[in-house]
A and B are shown apart, each in its own frame.
Chain A
Amino acid sequence: MSGDFVRRLPGGGPSFRNQRGEFTWFNLDPWLMLILLSIVGFGLVVLHSASDGNWMVVEAQLVRLGLGFGLMVSIAQIPPYFLLRMAPLLYGLGLILLLLIYPFGIEVNGSRRWLRVPGVLNFQPSELMKLFLPMVLAWYFNERHLPPEVKPVMVSCLLLLLPAGLIIVQPDLGTGLMIATSGFLVLILAGLPWRYMLRGSVLVLVLAPALWFAIKDYQRGRILTMFDPERDPLGAGWNIIQSKIAIGSGGFSGKGLLNGTQSHLDFLPESSTDFIIAVLAEELGFLGVLSLLVLYGLFILRGLMMSLNAQDTFGRLLCGSITFTFSVYVFVNIGMVSGILPVVGVPLPLVSYGGTALLTLFAGFGLMMSIHSHRRITLL
């Protein structure tokens, strides 16, 4: 693939139209940008209400969004071949950082998730892995014959399980599972034969009872609570009971912004972070939730179109897996808040208040933009 870059057309620069006649600006896809800005704008309105009309919170979120856009634009300028070259290196770096947690990690609430660069920043290496793992898998399959056979599948499973395992034992089951899912999505998109998946599923079902005893008490509690929140109405079940009440009491058109009693009287926990969809559902009702889901759907659609237009396997797989991972986040978050999935700490993408996860998202969008805008001429 050493010749790829030779045939690459210049993609950067402030042009408004790329070689295929598509609108573009600084390598950014205008459609994705439009949808992105709509979701972010909608999210800020909801966040303003969820934080009791506190503009400080909105400003802080705006600052993060600004950083996120900056990161996205920067990454969009990086040519994909460079990303491809860097992928194994970045993956290795991510693994080392995950391992460094053991001697140097900061323990918070009984789990070690954070690394500290003294005087500079604290960060979670698992956030980096959310992108490095899909990248390395896309890189791996880029060189392989697809659909993959047994050996590449084994190798990619190893690449996947190594970081996921390290994160799960931190312990951070939610993030570990989400990262494993994002890697697994690359495998599926690469053409993992269905029969393997079937066997894998059977294996998981067989191992499930053993897994039940391996996980921690609080994790078991979360799963049990999902099935029966009233089991512990003042403890683990509280969040889910209150969020279901918030959603249900919103009805078709909601109680109006800033009028949600569940969130503003603090019955709803984490109302501006993980449970923000409940605020939206309470105050803007079914219409609000539907609008947001339509925006998410458009975003996913555009992401898939971008992946289909990617010029190589690396681009396709990376772009596709980021898009699908994004949809998994949406599903898991709303599923958790509405009580059909156990409570795992997954924020609602682009809407929940919070820093690191938002930056990771924008970094991923930057990768998608980069892949989309730096393309060879389509001969078809």
Chain B
Amino acid sequence: MREALALKDHRSESQVYVERAATGAGVVLVLFSLLILRVGYLQTVQYSDSVARSEKNRVQVVARPPVRGLILDRQGVLLAENRPSRNLEVIPEQIVNMEDTLSDLVSVLEMSEEETARFRRLSGRTTRRFESAPVLFDLSDEQVARFEANRFRFPGLSVQAKLVRSYPQGALMAHAVGSVRRINDRDAISLNATAYASTDHIGKLGVERFYETELLGQVGYDRVEVNARGRMMRVLDGVKPTNGQNLSLYLDAGLQAAADRALDGRRGAVVAIDPKTGGIMALLSRPAYDPNLFVQGISHRNYNALRTSIDAPLFNRAIQGQYQPGSTLKPFIGLIALGSSTITVSDSIEDPGWYKLPGNERLYRDWNWTKTNDGGHGHVNIEKALYRSCNVYFYDLAVRLGIDRLSQDLKQFGFGQASVLDLPDADAGLLPSRAWKQASRKLPWYPGDTVNLGIGHGDILVTPLQMAAAVAALANRGRWVAPRMAKNQSLDALERARPSGSGQLPEHVWAPIIGGMEKVVHRGNQIYGENGTAWAYIGRDIKYRMAGKSGTAQVVAIEQGEVYEASMIEERQRKHAWFIAFAPIEDPKIALAVLLENGGGGSEYAAPVAREIIDYYLLEGAGRQVPSVAMVSRQ
């Protein structure tokens, strides 16, 4: 127990303590200095970096979408507007179990099978982390109410109101105006991510596509302060979006509707042009589809139905349908012939009903040829060749002109090229030539090809739009105006080079050709075989002077590879009916082309369509009031 007996030395104990306390105080001083250095380092060296990071934490840039420009017809009728749609959006990262959420949602919102499948498809496709993606569109008031009442059950889901494109005219304007589609992943790669930062749709067809930049507008943004949970606290500042420009078209909704009535459900296309401006007043392709179906995304079933239909409603016949022009080409060949002095107005031929190339036994028949050879048009000059649509005259004329002159001079009417200014999808048709045939078929040009070209058959192909543009040039007595959709000054800069050779024709060529076309419609009450081809159908009671020309195109082949019923095939092998016209003759206000697919004879079937449309435009339309429509855009 030595320890216990040892005296406690208080002095030395205290000394030890003082020593230790002093050491401790020193250590504390060092440690506190370390803290000061550390905090000082963070607040000086790391200062600007930290400030930047704290700003990045708190400030989020939220894009504000511009409102897409409206599309209006020439009277101010809305062709494309924006309507509010409430969509259900999902942030997939915030959802623990997508299947559970979905099954809850199905019962709350009473979703259909189709909607459920679409929800799965869209929610599984996450391109950008922590961004919401729409999965259900156009919720009803009841659905919104049900969702909001059950909102606590659905973290990561929210109802967002957005403006979406709407086409109040539906299928009527589908092919004329085009439509927007939801931007998909493939689009997103090539798009300017900033410009489309909060825009979901992009113009995919027609003027919606061509004027995408103008219609889109410029995106704005808000700099907002958010908290750590991403909740917006306040808007700091920002730049307002510049809404898209409204686009006024030359289209006339009334005329378009009249054209649709005149087609009366038949397959075909109508293009009407204002010859003074080149403005396209009607551009109709039937059958069509409802473009509204595509705005939010079309279901597979609906899309397949449209895509596989034998009537091809998605196919824009007016600008992409390529048909032989048939006899509607004859006036243009006549113009070339007169212009090149190959013929004169008084030159005539004797038409026995058939034509033979020299040294060749093949018969090229006229349409009124009979086996007994007592058909034919008898004594025929250029005017009669037009109003009787004499084939033999033009067989002979084409051979006399020769393929080289034909393929060169027909260009001036816009054949063989896409001359429309603002319809990017328009096709160019086909204007055959020796070089073309050699290149594409590896065959020389045969004289028989020229004979066929004389009546618009053979290889030549035109679209209804091209035909209408050619008629407009004819109505203008040679002054070419490029067809266009929008009343847009900037189009003048875009004006394509005039078709080569246009404006070269001398003054004297127009009267006989237009006169011949006038007689197509107005020459009547003659003996058999002397009336205009269309007079009996449209000319008896017409109240204005119209120049017209019918045409009938051969059907080359059934395009679809599928097997259809025999009766259908038979119907679809009937000839296409054309009618081109302009009126009034002295002061043309409208030039148009009508095509009826498998429609039969041009004068009998297509001409009444043309007359009905022009009647509307010149007679009914003249006195009609401009419908009062709200032109106020939602801005």
* A residues lining the B interface (CB < 8 Å): 144-147, 185, 188-191, 242, 244-252, 261-262, 265-267, 281, 285-286, 289-290, 293, 296-297, 300-301, 304, 307-308, 313, 316-317, 320, 324, 327, 330-331, 334-335, 338-340
Contact, CB under 8 Å: A249 / B50: yes
From A145, A248, A316, A324, B50 is in contact (CB under 8 Å) with: A248
Contact, CB under 8 Å: B28 / A324: yes
From B17, B21, B28, B42, A338 is in contact (CB under 8 Å) with: B42
**7 A-B Cβ contacts within 8 A?**
A248-B47, A262-B58, A297-B29, A300-B28, A304-B21, A304-B25, A338-B42
Give chain A nearest CB distance to B6 CB in angstroms.
5
Give chain A nearest CB distance to B597 CB in angstroms.
62
* B residues lining the A interface (CB < 8 Å): 3, 6, 8-9, 12-14, 16-18, 20-21, 24-25, 28-29, 31-32, 34-36, 38-40, 42-44, 46-47, 49-51, 53-55, 57-58, 225-229, 233
Contact, CB under 8 Å: A251 / B13: no
Contact, CB under 8 Å: B38 / A189: no
Contact, CB under 8 Å: A251 / B51: yes
Contact, CB under 8 Å: B43 / A286: yes
Give chain A nearest CB distance to B30 CB in angstroms.
10
The 8 nearest A-B residue pairs measured at CB: A248-B50, A266-B228, A191-B16, A248-B46, A249-B50, A265-B227, A249-B54, A248-B42
Question: Bound state CA distance, A41 and B625, in angstroms?
Answer: 81
**Do A245 and B57 form a contact, CB below 8 Å, given A145-B6, A189-B17?**
yes
Question: Bound state CA distance, A261 and B51, in angstroms?
Answer: 10
Contact, CB under 8 Å: B46 / A331: no
From A144, A265, A285, B58 is in contact (CB under 8 Å) with: A265
Contact, CB under 8 Å: B39 / A334: yes
Give chain A nearest CB distance to B334 CB in angstroms.
79
Contact, CB under 8 Å: B38 / A146: no
Residues of chain A within 8 A (CB-CB) of B35 are 293, 331, 334-335, 338
Residues of chain B within 8 A (CB-CB) of A251 are 43-44, 47, 51
Residues of chain A within 8 A (CB-CB) of B39 are 247, 281, 286, 289, 334, 338
Contact, CB under 8 Å: A331 / B31: yes
Give chain A nearest CB distance to B29 CB in angstroms.
8
Give chain A nearest CB distance to B60 CB in angstroms.
11
- Not counting A266-B228, A289-B39, a sample of 16 additional A-B residue pairs whose C-beta atoms are within 8 angstroms of each other reads A190-B20, A247-B50, A248-B43, A261-B54, A261-B57, A265-B226, A267-B54, A289-B36, A293-B36, A304-B21, A307-B21, A320-B17, A324-B28, A327-B28, A327-B32, A334-B35
Residues of chain B within 8 A (CB-CB) of A265 are 57-58, 225-228, 233
Name the residue on B nearest A294 (C-beta): B32
Interface centre among A249, A290, A316, A327 (most CB of B within 10 A): A249
Question: Bound state CA distance, A335 and B302, in angstroms?
Answer: 65
Give chain B nearest CB distance to A315 CB in angstroms.
10
Question: Bound state CA distance, A339 and B35, in angstroms?
Answer: 10
Give chain A nearest CB distance to B125 CB in angstroms.
23
Name the residue on B nearest A1 (C-beta): B8
Residues of chain B within 8 A (CB-CB) of A330 are 32
Residues of chain A within 8 A (CB-CB) of B58 are 261-262, 265, 267
Question: Bound state CA distance, A242 and B229, in angstroms?
Answer: 14
Question: Bound state CA distance, A188 and B17, in angstroms?
Answer: 9
Residues of chain A within 8 A (CB-CB) of B225 are 261, 265
Question: Bound state CA distance, A324 and B24, in angstroms?
Answer: 8
Residues of chain A within 8 A (CB-CB) of B9 are 145
Residues of chain B within 8 A (CB-CB) of A247 are 39, 42-43, 50
Name the residue on A nearest B58 (C-beta): A261
Residues of chain B within 8 A (CB-CB) of A339 are 38
**Do A244 and B50 form a contact, CB below 8 Å, given A261-B57, A289-B36, A293-B35?**
yes
Give chain A nearest CB distance to B38 CB in angstroms.
5
Give chain A nearest CB distance to B395 CB in angstroms.
82
Question: Bound state CA distance, A356 and B36, in angstroms?
Answer: 28
Give chain A nearest CB distance to B557 CB in angstroms.
63
Residues of chain B within 8 A (CB-CB) of A144 are 3
Question: Bound state CA distance, A324 and B39, in angstroms?
Answer: 22
Name the residue on A nearest B54 (C-beta): A249
Question: Bound state CA distance, A307 and B54, in angstroms?
Answer: 44
Contact, CB under 8 Å: A335 / B47: no
Name the residue on B nearest A334 (C-beta): B35
Contact, CB under 8 Å: B47 / A266: no
From A145, A267, A297, B57 is in contact (CB under 8 Å) with: A267
Question: Bound state CA distance, A196 and B140, in angstroms?
Answer: 79
Residues of chain A within 8 A (CB-CB) of B29 are 297
Give chain A nearest CB distance to B379 CB in angstroms.
94
Residues of chain B within 8 A (CB-CB) of A338 are 35, 38-39, 42
Name the residue on A nearest B14 (C-beta): A316
From A145, A266, A281, B229 is in contact (CB under 8 Å) with: A266
Question: Bound state CA distance, A21 and B57, in angstroms?
Answer: 58
Residues of chain A within 8 A (CB-CB) of B3 are 144-145
Contact, CB under 8 Å: A320 / B38: no
From A245, A316, A340, B53 is in contact (CB under 8 Å) with: A245
Residues of chain B within 8 A (CB-CB) of A286 are 39-40, 43-44
Give chain B nearest CB distance to A240 CB in angstroms.
12
Residues of chain B within 8 A (CB-CB) of A297 are 28-29, 32
Residues of chain A within 8 A (CB-CB) of B57 are 242, 245, 261-262, 265, 267
Interface centre among B8, B13, B16, B42 (most CB of A within 10 A): B42
Name the residue on A nearest B226 (C-beta): A265
Question: Bound state CA distance, A293 and B228, in angstroms?
Answer: 30
Name the residue on A nearest B45 (C-beta): A248
From A145, A188, A249, B20 is in contact (CB under 8 Å) with: A188
Residues of chain B within 8 A (CB-CB) of A188 are 20, 24
Residues of chain A within 8 A (CB-CB) of B229 are 266
From A191, A244, A293, A320, B42 is in contact (CB under 8 Å) with: A244
Question: Bound state CA distance, A326 and B228, in angstroms?
Answer: 33
Give chain A nearest CB distance to B8 CB in angstroms.
6
Contact, CB under 8 Å: A267 / B16: no
Give chain A nearest CB distance to B401 CB in angstroms.
79
Question: Bound state CA distance, A317 and B14, in angstroms?
Answer: 10
Residues of chain B within 8 A (CB-CB) of A301 are 25
**Do A281 and B43 form a contact, CB below 8 Å, given A265-B233, A327-B28, A340-B34?**
yes
Residues of chain A within 8 A (CB-CB) of B21 are 189, 304, 307-308, 320
Residues of chain B within 8 A (CB-CB) of A289 are 36, 39
Name the residue on A nearest B225 (C-beta): A265
Question: Bound state CA distance, A248 and B6, in angstroms?
Answer: 57
Give chain B nearest CB distance to A152 CB in angstroms.
9
Give chain A nearest CB distance to B277 CB in angstroms.
59
Residues of chain B within 8 A (CB-CB) of A293 are 32, 35-36
Residues of chain B within 8 A (CB-CB) of A267 are 54, 57-58, 227-228
Name the residue on A nearest B8 (C-beta): A145
Contact, CB under 8 Å: A296 / B32: yes
**Do A245 and B50 form a contact, CB below 8 Å, given A267-B228, A304-B25?**
yes
Give chain B nearest CB distance to A195 CB in angstroms.
15
Residues of chain A within 8 A (CB-CB) of B42 are 244, 247-248, 281, 338
Question: Bound state CA distance, A193 and B608, in angstroms?
Answer: 119
Contact, CB under 8 Å: A285 / B43: yes
Question: Bound state CA distance, A246 and B46, in angstroms?
Answer: 11
Question: Bound state CA distance, A195 and B54, in angstroms?
Answer: 48
Question: Bound state CA distance, A327 and B44, in angstroms?
Answer: 25
Contact, CB under 8 Å: A340 / B38: yes
Question: Bound state CA distance, A331 and B35, in angstroms?
Answer: 7
Give chain B nearest CB distance to A40 CB in angstroms.
20
Contact, CB under 8 Å: A146 / B228: no
Question: Bound state CA distance, A108 and B584, in angstroms?
Answer: 93
Name the residue on B nearest A296 (C-beta): B32
Interface centre among B16, B39, B58 (most CB of A within 10 A): B39
**Do A252 and B16 form a contact, CB below 8 Å, given A265-B227, A327-B28, A335-B35?**
no
